[in-house]
Structures are given as structure tokens and as C-alpha cells.
Structure 1
């Protein structure tokens, strides 16, 4: 059934994706909502304002859904009888408040979702004691960068299981008829009160004059059944059904000017009106109010010890006489059964591993988010509204005037990044392709459209700075998604490859023109997504007035060249006109490879023969070249540029093959380094690294005293535990191995590439090892780990690395998962099967670090399980 729904949707017979989990968990503190003089997004719109102030570009809530343009929104609001405010949205620290940058401070989990969102399930853990808002801020603000973050579990508020498990489930009867079940389970040994407010509201698009006619929610009645009629000029009418209630609350989605700015309100019915009423148990204001743009049926329940209570609501285009009869409620069981049947064909049969995969997919699908920004309007302001500061027109993102986004996008997560990140998305598309290939392909195409890509060919990075430079992994992702679909269906979508290829040509040219300062095929690139991996900020002014010739910038471009060559060869099998362009990308790769490997001959360069590693080079104005001998992922990225070519592919491109042969013979006469290896069986290998250097590099990567941790490859070698530094222009710059939270203030202290394990980079390393194996076969073996005398071929090494990464989420013999930092909370019966997919992981013990819900690129673990344990 789920596959039929997907097919019907993409064939435009239905619109099963009209409603989905597109509602963010945080709209406050984002650049879109920042209209401050200095661009201080975190300070301008803090969490404290969110309940009282309307948003311009989106909405937020807990376990929520919206339509595809976020005009109609629904989420769950709660009150435990003790909090100073309603629990209406997820809480966390803004960047300046945390000792390690911004961080969500809640416990919640995505348990299930089908690709069409015909069934979804979410869990929020809500304390019965007062939520420790102030303690979380004060403890983290007062901790140093050398101390761990203070988390919600550290407060002790979940001791003795005095909390509620709040499950929110959605079951679509059809694309515009959605049943919602909210189950509140008391995990404590004493009865406890809970107030439940299933909240429906309309995004305020009338104040900025985007919507000319203000929509409405009005109380109606049919017989004895009360319900709310939603009227919207663009969407038509919907009915919102609810069970017998304690109170009916209507207000307006309008800012509380009195609370925010000490200005008079035109009406007491403002956005935060429910807060005072519920907390003070005074509903007199709402007694005769039967319409608005925000509505909640209110349920006051006492949940018995270890018991539960259930509330149902329903949003439907249809007029339904009995919206919650037994037949209607059977839909939940039906949709759950269909979800199980859908995933049974995708995930492993091992129950424990299947649990990891299922939650990984759930996180991926729940993180599909509505995103809206129109840069010209954002820069100039809305008609009739207070204009933004004048300096905004020359400030952040002001040179992206063609960028106008309003789409459903795969986000890194719904809280820390309720806005896209381009290179993250390339990794998202791998696990997404396992469940919804068309969505993955559409996402890759989307970022190459004219309203995303800059006219100069640059792909926008992310909202904080669209012009930042992320690794060029779009082409790699497109080929990965293409091959996954071809393997699954036997048919490759060549039209998809053609669409992305033409646009990626523009992006490739941008890279070549903008990031090779001296025209020597050694690329700079900036921080390239690896934030604080160097001894100084690689995206800012370089110490000493020089420039940085980056091993990883060069490696990424070599990889990009091979990805586009690979794509052109694949298309050429179906369209011979593409053979002409294959040589272009081969030659780009060849010259880049030659530059990177040539460096060691006549100057202190990227490859250090004695140390067997690639390093960045600091090129100073006086023609002095200083190798920065930091052993990090920067050097290991050279493994990414590898492409084995078999006889069948080469035979389909005879002109390209002749060029390869000519180049190979020519280079053999004039160079020591060969970019082409040719086997006796007519196989060829294009690799940035010669075989001898490959073996040396793998010795370092697979050394447990350096890069190899119990849970994957570290981002910085442990050899730097005691620090590394260089004097440049009279100033000392340095770093040290830090396995977990960042101790650096670079990039807001918000990420750390100085030791932890990062899933996406490990994934690329594993993919590269498999590519090398495809050429060298079982005859090329290395020690795993280095020094162990345990010889494995590279496919076996890839499997072993995969198992270490998967092990982050697996239970050990004592019932502990490394990701959970051995916290006893995750050993109780109600939490032991819950998985969080963090941004990155401790380099020594595998505990989750950084953003807690970045299932985005960490979700590739689902594909690793598939590769190692399913096939």
C-alpha cells in the first residue's frame, strides 16, 4: 500500500505529501527572523519571545505537522501544572548561552514514519516537576569549554521516573483526512496531572500582506457534535474534530505587543493568550469567543500511576458524522501494519539492527521541513511594515538577490538547523533513497535550480552565510542515488543524471575559477565544512598575509572531477554525445593529481615522504612555503578521489579510452607519478594516491594510536594529544586532540573536528575503500588495526569500519549503547530501545556529541547496516 501511495503521488494522481512533519521545532533565533541592526539572530528573537511574537517566515511546535506551504499548522501543547509557561515548543540554548554553542535541551524521539507520512509516531518525554529552564541556561553559561555541557538528564528531573511519555501519532485516511492520537503515559508511581492542548493555528501571512484575505477558525455544530471550521482563501474549508473537552480556547496568531514592546494591544486575543489562562486556571476571557486564527480544545486529566490517557483529534476536508468511532480508529492499526510491511522489504531481519534502521529512517523523514526565504523581501522588508536596518542591504547574504526558496527540504535536524545545509543534504539523500528515491532525486535537483544556485554557479551553503564554501559532494551523491535505484529496480534514471550534470558543470566551473589562486591546480576553498580542524580559521584572513593551499580543497576537486567523469561515462552509455566531455574531467583530475603529488619533489609540499601523510601548505608572500603538519581528515580526504574503470565501460567510450592510453604513455615518459594504473585484465584505476602512498596513508588511518577509534575514524590523530603549534608572523597558532566537545571558539564553538568521529566522512572513507577493492581485489591487504598482523583486503576493512560505526548505536552485553554515554536512564524499560542520532561522536568512547537529532547525515548508518548485515 505505501508503495502504491508513493507511485500515485509522484504520478500526480494524488497529493499524499500535502501534509507532513514540515513544522519546525525552532523558528526563533534563526537568520530569517532576525531584523536586528547587527545581525545578532540569537539575541534578536530569543526563546522567551517565541510564545508571544508572530513569525514572518515559518512556524514551530512539538511533534507538529503542516501543509506543504505551512499555512495550516498543528502541534501538541502541554502543561504539567508546575511550569511557568506552557510547553508549546522545544527549548534549547542559543549560541552565546552555551559553553559549546547552541544546543537543544529536551528529550524527544522520532519513532516512525512512512515516506508519504501516512503513519508517523513521535515521543516527547515531559517532566512532572517544573522544567529547569533557568538552571539549564545558568549551568551552561557558567561552565568552561573544558567542561561537558549540562544536559536535561543531569538536572535529575527524570529521577524516579517522574515524567510523562507523550506519544503523538498521525494516521492519514487520505491526503486531506488525518487522524491524530495523543497518548500520555505516566511513568511514575504516583498519579499526576497533565493538561493537553492539541493546537491548530494559521500562519500569520496577513500582517505582511502576503495573504490578502485573513483566514479563520470558527466554532460550528452538527447535531450535538461541536467542531471547528477552518476557512482559507487558498486552501478552502477544513473541519477540525475533537472529543468532549474541558475548555474551548480561541485566540489570534498576533504578537503580544504589550509584553514584548510595552505597546498597547488592539485585542487581548494574542498569540500567548492561552498561557496565562491555563496557568492561572482562568478561562473567563475565552467564554464567549468562538473564532480566531489559533485554537485549542483543552483536556485536564489526572493520569494514574503507571497508567495513560488518550486524546483524539481529526483534521479533514470531509464532513464526518462519527469522526472517532471504532471503525475510524482502526485506521491506526491498519497504517501501522502497512508501515511494517513497507519496511520489512527494506530493513534487516535482525530485530536489534532493524530498530536502529527504523528510527534512522524516522528521523530522516520527520526532518523534512518547510523552508521559506525571499532574499529581496528579506533585505528590503514587507510592504507596509517597519523596514529592516539600512546596513542589511550590504550585510549578510546581500549578494544572493536571486535566492527565493519555498520548498520542503531535508534538514540536518528540526531544531538546531531549521534551515538547510547543502553538503549535509548530499548525505541525507543516501538513506532517503532507500525509502523514497524520487524525493532524494528531487532534493538534489532542487539545489541546482535557478532560485537556489547563484548565477555564478555557487550552490548556497546555509542560511547563516549562503556564500560559505562546503565540500562539493553533490555529484557524488547524485551518482550514489542513481546507482542505488539502478541496483534496486534494474533501471537507471539517466534523465536525472543529465539534469544534474548540466547544472553541476556550472558549479564545477565556479570552483575552478574561484578557488585556485595561482592556477596551479592546488585549491584553497576555505573551511570546507570542517570548521575548526586547522590551527586557525581557514575561512578568514590567513596569518602572515599568505594563502592556504589545502590538501582537502585539492582532494575535493579531484573527487569532483572523477564524480563528473563517472557521471559523463554513465550517460555516454545511453547518449554518445557525452563522450566528448569525459576527457575534460579526466584532464582536470590528472593535473590536480599531478600537482598534489608533484609537490614533494622540489619544495616542502603536501606529501611528506618521511611521515607518509598529506598536509596543508601555508604559502607566504615571500615565497616561503610552510607545511602545517597536522595529521587530520584533511590528509585523509585524498582517499576520496578514486574511480575504477572496467572494460565494459571503457569499450563504450573508445575515444575516451584512446585519450587515456595516450596520456598514460605520455606521463610515463615525462613524470614519475602515474595518475592511471592499468591491470592486465584491461581494468583501469584513476586515483589521487599512488599505490605505495595509499599503503602508507592507510597505516596511519588504521592505527589505533592515531585515527582508528573503537567507533570509527577520528577527525584528528590522537598523536596530537599533547598539542601541535606553529609560529607564523610572530604569533603562535595551535591545536590539540579533543575527542568530544570543542574547546575552541571558532564557529561559535558549535562543532569540533579536532578528534570526534563524524559519520559522513567515515562513510566516504568506506566508500573509497570499496572502490579501491574493486580494482585491487583480494590481493591488496593491509593490517587492521595497524601493527596487529591481521591482514585484510580493503572490502573487509570497509566492513570492519562499518561495524565500528554501527556499534555506536548497538547494545553491549550490559545493555549499554555507546551513543548514550552509559547513562542509566537508557536502561529502563521505557527508554532502552530509543536511539538518538547525534551530529558526531566521542573519539574514544563513541558517546553522542553536538546536535542531538542530526539524523540527517548520521542517518547513513541505515545504509551501512544494509551493506554489511543485509546483503
Structure 2
């Protein structure tokens, strides 16, 4: 929402949110806890992560830190994270300068490349949280010297209030300045909208209470703007006190809105020391009873045992230790990436009291989203590189989330169709950068999957499904009205989350004008219609009752889907299908001549039609007489469209038929899979590439009226500046589309059975049915994160630390995407959300072993 350099961060009070190392906050981010570090050499306290912005990085925005989410329960009764802190000065300038010097054809210059981890000269800082009860949190910071020499580190556990008072934020509900004071050797908080909390600071390693430093979480206007501070005690006071030796920087009256305990730890090589803290609501009936060390440790021990017990019920028992470790850290990443997100467009546009906002706020991106009022805990793609929600990312997040926290998954999906998120016209907000961008419509699929995954209950949550469905009708209508330019069921939509996958930015005005009929946009709408059809059919049967309004909606989505299939395959002769190549392509219609040109680059754009598939069982259709009647009428009186519906005897219910609803016919699917399963095209050792490797030697070139564009296969970081980098869809492997393709192949197998077989890989001579093909893709995808027979984990490439160092090799990162040939992790390093979809494929390894064992 507003940009300023990292150098300002320590001195500026944030209004809309806060940051900190492996910290926690209440659900509205009022009272926050994190910690700061100083190794005696850095020019600033290490209070927050450092990274490069898009223009600074040669491949877009990029975090330059080593931190890991190791464990968490869904209730956060236990959490564990790790930050690796170098013992030498952090190379801020070197990272900026070297990455600025490098071109897009060179690799990123990473923190490890600077040598700061050589000879293991760093501290491991573990942050652990254990709840004694929901409002009583024990904190344990454990610092280990991994280096060969004795080293000293300053550790500052810090408690602070987000500054909601300086800007008269009336919607925050806080009218008085909060405060933290020292009272009876304990820190006590006071805030308008929070219960009083106590912060109990533990003894240092010598048994002494550390010094307590006080200041206020307010901007240092003197340092930033040369304007005298109204308050002498400002946000960066601890930096001034410790590094600049300015003893007057902190408040001697021992009160403020930001406080830290100052520990100085000297550690021998390999030595470990721990700091113990406690944050809890102040008892209403008297003084807090302190916990002795044994009780403190026992509570941690109990919470860790409970976490182990919980994940023992979640993680398949037949997984190896390495596989189970990957699964558990993936869940930890999901849970640690829940974040308070605050953005009220109306207030943002109005600006602060007595200060006119910049004109760009009133006319720029998001200006038409006055209704959007976000002050919620939301699942983020990445809390550092993408610290804002992305709606289609979030939909994928909820699939693994539903296994461990069904209620959170449902509440997140409900949230984004509420009136303070969903636009009055039915559009769903994309993400902070531009709410009006168009993401693929996957929310209905996510809601349907979450609803079905929760099958441990005797009765599924119809209320959840119905409430989401009714709002999604608005969103579906928005798509139909806004993105079908010619009214022919061929949809646009723009880049649709695939960023730079095309020869040009599909969200902008096309070269030489005109419009684009998108293979993926149209397929997404087919997928959307099929999912809403499935939901309608489910809601139409409530016990013994048949609810006619849902039957009516089912008929509507059934007919709409078939019309989309007809448009994709038959409009203008062959629609978007190219019979010669056996593939679907986007099509550009030039405005001047009306000429239609197929964009014959083989990418995910042409694979997405495969995912729009569903199987209707005749026995279930018979339970809905109204739908059955209209279904039969359609088959009788729409013979041209009937050809798009497959029919065969049901293997599930004798005397009934199964009906296949899909975009590609059997013959088209057979042709598509020859391309998709070709290792010289899409099939990588680690899943499906986003662009065919064919374009490595044969770039696709688009030319119209002298305007010439090209696209080639780029397996790793993008060489294109489109979208600022860090968003490469021109070759790497992305988990979400792989996940949907695997699901779709399983549905095709449900209909075709073992009769439908293909070579996998193409030209290999290995014949497999579609369930086996799905299993093969699933296995390849899971290999990204698992050690192979040589102990090598593909996602970490040639980094010897992660491959062999005992203090690194069991740590996991869940990258945004992966190199199309080597499987190395790329992009945002903590985008656990949709990369956690791999969990299903790793869990499947355990199921396969169990089935093999049972068959014996």
C-alpha cells in the first residue's frame, strides 16, 4: 500500500500492520511479540527480515534470509520456528549492489553466496511457544552457537503495541494511547480494547533479571525527515541505546508502548542457552502465580507430546521419517503463514486527519473498491514476499488446511464471499496490488473439496456449502457478463494468475487491438460451471426432500457447461482446438481485419481444458426427477450438443448409465496426453512443466502488422521483465495446476476405467491406465521435496548445506515454483500455501504401501 526502504523500517511506526522475527500477535495485531538480535558487528539491530524489492532483484522480489517454520498445531498450542543469524555483519549493501548488477540471465546472488555462513559462523535461534491455557503463552528462545569460536549475541525479546492512536484511527476502537509499565517486577499492559496482559521476563544465564528497556512505537521524524520528535522516545530507541551507546534514547520512567528485555549471551562453540518468558492475561483475582522452571519445562513437554499425538493421527503411518518430516513442516508453514491483514480502502483513500491524500489513491488501483474492509486473520501465500492475500492462492491453501483445521478452511472460504470482500458487481478481489485483476475461479472447487473432505462427520456441513454457493452465483454471473466479450461462451479474463505465460501481457490492450479468446479462461469457466453443477445436485437432495430451486440451478449449469464445450470445440469450425497439434490454444481476433490467429505456444493454457471433467451417475440423477426430466429433454432436442456428453453403462449401479461431462472428447484427450506425457514437452522428472520444452529449440513467434513477439521455454527464473520477475510460468513446475490435472485424470479413469490406456511417458512403451498416469504424476511431484536414494533433495539443487549438513539437511522450504528440469526450488521460498498441495501426493505414498501390504 505504501513503499519505503528497509533503512526506514526501524524508525517508522506502521499503521496497518506490524512485522518482526518469528513473532505472534492477538487476532487484531494490537499487542505484538517478537525478538531482536545483535551480533556486535551489524550496523543495525536484526529486528526484521531483509529482502529485495522487485526493481532491486534481478529476478523480482526476494527474501535474503534463512528461516524455517518447524512445527505448529492448528490451535497454536505449540509452535516452533528457526532463524539462522550470521555472526558477521549482515551484508545488506553487497546483496543490493550485486543483484542490481546482475542481469536476468544470471542467477540471483543469495545470502549464502556472501560467505556469512562459512565455517558455520552463525547462531541458530529457535523460537517456541506453548500455551498454558488459551490466554497464557509460554515463550522459549534457544540460542545455539554453531561456529568454531566463542561468540556473543544480544537478544531482545520485545513486546509492543501497534500504533493505532497517532492517526486517530477511529475504526480501530482505540481512543487512548496504550501503555506498558513495570509493576511488581512484571510488565503490565493497558489498552482500550484488550484485557490487561502481564509479561514475565525470565532470568538471564547468570540468574539475574536483565535490564528492561522502554520506548514508544512512534516514528523517529528527526532521523527520517529532520523534524523534531514530539516524543523523545521513539521506535528505534533500542538501536540507539545498544549500537550507538545513547543511554538517553530509552525512557528512564520505565513506561511506553514498546519494551524489551536486554540479554547478553556469551556462547562457547556448540553451546546452547535458553531464555524463558511468559505472556498472559492478568488475573482478575490477584497476583499471578509464577511458574518454576520444572513446571515451565513440563508444559512445553506436554504440548510437544500433544502435537506429536495430533500429527500421528494425520500423517500416514506408512510414511518414512523423511516423508513424515516434510509433511509436518508443510503443515507448520501453513499455520505460521496465518496473518492479520488490514486494509480499509475507504479510510486509505481519505488519508489521515488534516492531511490530503495523494491523488493516486483516489484514481489508481483499487479506487473502485470502497466497500472492501479487511481486518481479519487470513492465510497468506508468503508472510514476507507476499504479505497480502491472493484469492486463488488461498483457495488452494484450504485443501491441505481442511485436513487439520476444517473450521478455519470453511471460515476463510466464507470470508471472501462476504459483502465486505466480494464486490457488489460480483467480482472477487484478487490481491492488494490490484483487486480488479482476474484470478481463475477456483473458489467453488475449493469449497466443494473442503465440503467433501470433511467426511468424518455423519452429516456434511450443508449450511457452509449453501452459503458459499449462493454468493458464488453472483461471481459466476459477473464472469458471464464481463469476460465473454462476444457472448459466444468463449471467455477472456486476462493473465488469469499465469502472469507471463503468453507472448504478451493478456491483461493489457492487445497488440494492434482486438480481443482474445482464451483457452484457459474458457476452460476455467467450464470447470466453474461443472463444480456449481455438482454443488447444485448435492444441495437439491436434503434427506428425503428434493429442493426444486437447486434442481433448476443444476439444469442451468449443465446446459451452460455443454455450450462452453461446444464453443471450445466447434465454434467457427474447430473452436480453440487444433486437431493437427492435438492441443488447445488461445485465439486472437484482430480488430481491424477480424482475422483470427491461433497463438500456438504449447503451455498450461492448453492443458487446463483437461481439468473440466465430471462424472454424473444415473442413479443419483434419478433421485432428482425435475433435473432428470430437463436432462432427458436436452439429450432429445439438442442432438448437436448431445455429442459432447459421454454415456456408458455404470460400473457402480446396475441398470443405470454414467455420463461423462468433459471438454475434450476421448479422441482429443488421447491426443492431448501424447503431448502432455512427452518428456521432450511437458513431462518433467518432477511433474508437468508450465511451458513445453519443445519451445526451448523452437520458440513460438507471434507476428501481426509488423508487431513481432516470441516466447521460449525457460525452466528456471524468467528472462522476461513482464510482471517484474519472480512469476515465471514459461517452463517451471507449479503445484496447483499439477494437482488439478492429477485429480482430473482420476475422474477420467472413474468413467473410462482400464479400457483407456496411454503410453507414459510418450514413446516409452510403458502402457498405463489413467489412474496409473495420475499416480505417476503424483509420484514425480512428491520427489521434489523428498530425498532420493543418494540422500539428495532436488528442491535444494547443489546447496551442500541442505544436502549434507546435519544442521540444515532436515529443514524444508516450500518454494513458489520449481525448475522444470532439475526440480530446484525457485521464486518465493516460503510459499507453503499452494505448494503444500504436495502433501496429498506424499500421503498417497503411505496409502500405496498400505494397499500393497494388505494385498499380500
SS of equivalent residue, structure 2 residue 809? coil
Whether the aligned pair in 2 keeps the contact of 1:632 and 1:717 (CA below 8 Å) is yes
Deviation of the 1:606 alpha carbon: 1.3
Residue 357 of structure 1 is matched in structure 2 by 327
Q: Does 1:704 align with 2:715?
A: no
Q: Pick from 515, 518, 533 the counterpart of residue 547 of structure 1.
A: 515
Q: Pick from 793, 798, 804 the counterpart of residue 822 of structure 1.
A: 798
Q: Give deviations 1:452-486, integer Å, cap 9, x for gaps.
A: 00000000000000000000000000111011002
Residue 463 of structure 1 is matched in structure 2 by 432
Q: Give deviations 1:576-626, integer Å, cap 9, x for gaps.
A: 231111110011101110000003626xx4111111000000101212000
Residue 216 of structure 1 is matched in structure 2 by 179
Q: Pick from 564, 568, 577 the counterpart of residue 607 of structure 1.
A: 577
SS of equivalent residue, structure 2 residue 262? strand
Whether the aligned pair in 1 keeps the contact of 2:202 and 2:277 (CA below 8 Å) is yes
Q: Does 1:583 align with 2:555?
A: yes
Taking the aligned partners of 1:286 and 1:138, their CA distance within structure 2 comes to: 34
Q: Does 1:383 align with 2:383?
A: no
Taking the aligned partners of 2:179 and 2:601, their CA distance within structure 1 comes to: 60
Q: Does 1:713 align with 2:688?
A: yes
Whether the aligned pair in 1 keeps the contact of 2:240 and 2:249 (CA below 8 Å) is no
Taking the aligned partners of 2:630 and 2:666, their CA distance within structure 1 comes to: 22
State the TM-score, normalizing by the size of structure 1.
0.93
Q: Does 1:309 align with 2:273?
A: yes
Whether the aligned pair in 1 keeps the contact of 2:785 and 2:793 (CA below 8 Å) is yes
Q: Does 1:686 align with 2:655?
A: no
842-851 vs 317-326, greater mean Cα deviation:
317-326
Residue 28 of structure 1 is matched in structure 2 by none
Structure 2 CA distance for partners of 1:835 and 1:89, relative to 1, 3 Å: same
Q: Does 1:440 align with 2:409?
A: yes
Residue 146 of structure 1 is matched in structure 2 by 105
Indicate the RMSD between aligned Cα atoms, in angstroms.
1.4
Q: Pick from 93, 102, 108 the counterpart of residue 67 of structure 2.
A: 108
Deviation of the 1:671 alpha carbon: 5.7
Q: Pick from 274, 291, 310 the counterpart of residue 323 of structure 1.
A: 291
Residue 16 of structure 2 is matched in structure 1 by 57
Deviation of the 1:776 alpha carbon: 1.1
Whether the aligned pair in 2 keeps the contact of 1:677 and 1:686 (CA below 8 Å) is no
Q: Does 1:260 align with 2:224?
A: yes
SS of equivalent residue, structure 1 residue 658? helix
Q: Pick from 343, 351, 356 the counterpart of residue 373 of structure 1.
A: 343
Whether the aligned pair in 1 keeps the contact of 2:801 and 2:808 (CA below 8 Å) is yes
Deviation of the 1:281 alpha carbon: 4.3
Deviation of the 1:768 alpha carbon: 0.6
Q: Pick from 349, 360, 384 the counterpart of residue 415 of structure 1.
A: 384
Q: Give deviations 1:14-38, integer Å, cap 9, x for gaps.
A: xxxxxxxxxxxxxxxxx1xx2xxxx
Where structure 1 has 5 or more consecutive residues not aligned to the other structure, the ranges are 1-30, 35-40
Structure 2 CA distance for partners of 1:304 and 1:243, relative to 1, 3 Å: same
SS of equivalent residue, structure 1 residue 345? helix
Q: Does 1:489 align with 2:489?
A: no
Taking the aligned partners of 2:847 and 2:412, their CA distance within structure 1 comes to: 27
Whether the aligned pair in 2 keeps the contact of 1:54 and 1:204 (CA below 8 Å) is yes
Q: Does 1:861 align with 2:833?
A: no
Q: Pick from 567, 570, 584 the counterpart of residue 598 of structure 1.
A: 570
Residue 276 of structure 1 is matched in structure 2 by 240
Deviation of the 1:232 alpha carbon: 1.1
Q: Does 1:795 align with 2:771?
A: yes
Q: Give deviations 1:288-333, integer Å, cap 9, x for gaps.
A: 2300000000100111101111001110114433234311331100
Taking the aligned partners of 2:684 and 2:632, their CA distance within structure 1 comes to: 41
SS of equivalent residue, structure 2 residue 564? helix
Deviation of the 1:395 alpha carbon: 1.3
Structure 2 CA distance for partners of 1:131 and 1:269, relative to 1, 3 Å: same
Whether the aligned pair in 1 keeps the contact of 2:238 and 2:249 (CA below 8 Å) is no
Whether the aligned pair in 2 keeps the contact of 1:599 and 1:607 (CA below 8 Å) is no
Q: Pick from 362, 385, 395 the counterpart of residue 426 of structure 1.
A: 395
Structure 2 CA distance for partners of 1:285 and 1:270, relative to 1, 3 Å: closer
The equivalences for 1:618-629 within 5 A come to 618-621=588-591, 622-629=593-600
SS of equivalent residue, structure 1 residue 418? coil
Residue 12 of structure 1 is matched in structure 2 by none
Deviation of the 1:287 alpha carbon: 7.1
Q: Pick from 611, 615, 631 the counterpart of residue 644 of structure 1.
A: 615
Structure 2 CA distance for partners of 1:746 and 1:585, relative to 1, 3 Å: same
Deviation of the 1:844 alpha carbon: 0.2
Residue 125 of structure 1 is matched in structure 2 by 84
Taking the aligned partners of 1:286 and 1:551, their CA distance within structure 2 comes to: 61
Q: Does 1:68 align with 2:27?
A: yes
Q: Pick from 833, 843, 846 the counterpart of residue 823 of structure 2.
A: 846
229-238 vs 290-299, greater mean Cα deviation:
229-238
Taking the aligned partners of 1:325 and 1:869, their CA distance within structure 2 comes to: 40
The equivalences for 1:155-166 within 5 A come to 155-166=114-125
Taking the aligned partners of 1:130 and 1:719, their CA distance within structure 2 comes to: 46
Structure 2 CA distance for partners of 1:778 and 1:694, relative to 1, 3 Å: same
Taking the aligned partners of 2:662 and 2:648, their CA distance within structure 1 comes to: 11
Residue 670 of structure 2 is matched in structure 1 by 695
Q: Give deviations 1:211-235, integer Å, cap 9, x for gaps.
A: 21111000111xxxx1111111211
Taking the aligned partners of 2:251 and 2:564, their CA distance within structure 1 comes to: 73
Whether the aligned pair in 2 keeps the contact of 1:802 and 1:868 (CA below 8 Å) is no
Taking the aligned partners of 1:87 and 1:195, their CA distance within structure 2 comes to: 10
Q: Give deviations 1:786-834, integer Å, cap 9, x for gaps.
A: 1111111111111111111110001122222111113101121111111
Q: Pick from 537, 558, 569 the counterpart of residue 526 of structure 2.
A: 558
Q: Does 1:750 align with 2:726?
A: yes
Where structure 2 has 5 or more consecutive residues not aligned to the other structure, the ranges are 204-208, 651-655, 849-856
Deviation of the 1:167 alpha carbon: 0.3
Whether the aligned pair in 2 keeps the contact of 1:347 and 1:870 (CA below 8 Å) is no
Taking the aligned partners of 1:391 and 1:47, their CA distance within structure 2 comes to: 23
Residue 293 of structure 1 is matched in structure 2 by 257
Taking the aligned partners of 1:314 and 1:783, their CA distance within structure 2 comes to: 60
Whether the aligned pair in 2 keeps the contact of 1:364 and 1:856 (CA below 8 Å) is yes
Deviation of the 1:544 alpha carbon: 1.3
Whether the aligned pair in 2 keeps the contact of 1:485 and 1:491 (CA below 8 Å) is no
Taking the aligned partners of 2:213 and 2:253, their CA distance within structure 1 comes to: 8
Q: Pick from 741, 758, 762 the counterpart of residue 765 of structure 1.
A: 741
Residue 852 of structure 2 is matched in structure 1 by none
Counting matched residue pairs gives 821
Taking the aligned partners of 2:469 and 2:620, their CA distance within structure 1 comes to: 18
Q: Does 1:405 align with 2:382?
A: no
Whether the aligned pair in 2 keeps the contact of 1:699 and 1:783 (CA below 8 Å) is yes
Q: Pick from 504, 507, 510 the counterpart of residue 475 of structure 2.
A: 507
Q: Does 1:533 align with 2:501?
A: yes
